[in-house]
Structure 1
Amino acid sequence: MPEFKIKRLYYSIGEVSKLTGIERYVLRYWEKEFEKLKPAKNKGGNRIYTNRDIKIILMIKRLLYEEGYTIAGAKKVLESYNPDEDPTEIIIEEGRIKIPKITDPELRRDLIQIREILEFILNKL
């Protein structure tokens, strides 16, 4: 009998904070600053983040913390960013982080490092 793996559709702000290494208050601030980051809310009013939201958060994090963009500069870059067309898709499934086959060795190395960090964090949850 085949085994069906179910991807998580939604993550809480606490889970996203642990996965991305971004504090909850920063995530809430980024929602106000970046139009593309708009997690839905459940009936209780709690934020529910999708994999798409997590990709946007990781892009914002990279732009601000690694590439040194200002918030205004990051907003301009994000205008043309489409997480649905991002070839660096990261899939979080049953506590494991999956990355696609990437031919660019530098990008592949970076994604593997991100995956290792996220798996370490997931194991701590």
Structure 2
Amino acid sequence: MLYSIGEVADMFDVNVSHIRYWENQFEALKPVKNKKGNRQFTPKDLETIRMIHHLVKERGLTIDGARKKLKENPEDTLNNFEVVKRLQDIRQELIAIKQGLGENEN
């Protein structure tokens, strides 16, 4: 499945210009282009963008810092990202459970 740059920007709640900028800054992000020249992102590209977004927007790294992290230690970066994502998901589930228990007490 392929995604347009607009769809990808909406998924990550960033401007289209962010995605184009990241494409220029990170070697790992190379979407295919159709005959019209429109960028089309694969699921693998989405994972790369998810890691870039995590490093830059959530962890506050600079573009240079994120680029270095992805280049030097891509496996550790991916593993750390996945752990953080799982912990965030668990936190959301626990919050939902807590809210559900609070509603049952009334």
- Look up the equivalent residue of 2:4 and give its one-letter code: S
Pairing 1:33–2:9 present: no
Identity of aligned residues (%): 44
TM-superposition CA deviations, 1:64-121 (whole Å, max 9, x none): 1111211111011111325xxx569xxxxxxxxxxxxx8x6x64242476xxxxxxxx
Q: What RMSD in Å do the two structures reach over aligned CA positions? A: 2.3
SS at match of 1:75: helix
Query: Aligned AA for 1:72?
Result: D
Could you say if the C-alpha distance between residues 111 and 58 of structure 1 is closer, same or farther in structure 2, counting changes exceeding 3 Å? farther
TM-score scaled by length of structure 2 = 0.70
TM-score (norm 1): 0.61
| Cα displacement (A) at 1:40 | 0.7
Q: Which has the higher helix share?
A: 2
Q: Does 2:61 align with 1:69?
A: yes
Distance change >3 Å, CA 110–CA 39, structure 1 → 2 = same
Say which structure, 1 or 2, has more relative contact order (CA 8 Å, 6+ apart): 1
Larger radius of gyration, structure 1 or 2? 2
Task: Specify the code of the residue in structure 2 equivalent to 1:28.
Answer: R
- 3-state SS, counterpart of residue 35 of structure 2: coil
| 23 and 108 in structure 1: CA distance in 2 versus 1, 3 angstrom threshold | same
2:16 equivalent in structure 1: 24
Q: Distance in 1 between matches of 2:40 and 2:53?
A: 19
Q: Which runs of 5+ in 2 are unaligned?
A: 93-106
Residue aligning to 2:86: 108
Where 1:15 maps in the other structure, the secondary structure is: helix
